[in-house]
Amino acid sequence: MPNKEQTKKEIQKLIDKYNKVAEENRIPKYNEEMTKKDFILLLFRALGWDTENSSEVTAEEQISNKKVDSFKQILCLLKET
């Protein structure tokens, strides 16, 4: 698990990266896969998640016969805590 200061630095890098992408007006070009690769997985890693471990992070899960992406899943988990 990364320490708090390292986590803050990694998250700040992601914020800076997002701001750069936004300033360059590239946000509309981002699809789900690009967003996952460039931001979501990096955020999970900064928070200490093992993104290569499918028991910790899954790409998609079947819920009530509908697929839900990992970002929605983490939001649900955060609401429960």
Q: CA 16, 22, 27: angle at the middle one, nearest 5?
A: 125
Pairing of strands 66-69, 60-63: antiparallel
In total, how many domains does the chain have? Answer: 1
Cβ contacts of 68 within 8 Å, gap of 6 or more: 60, 61
Domain that holds residue 64: 4-51+58-80
The 10s digit of each residue's pLDDT in 28-77 is 888 888 888 998 899 889 989 998 888 877 776 665 555 445 555 555 55
Alpha carbon distance 21, 35 (integer Å)? 11
pTM: 0.69
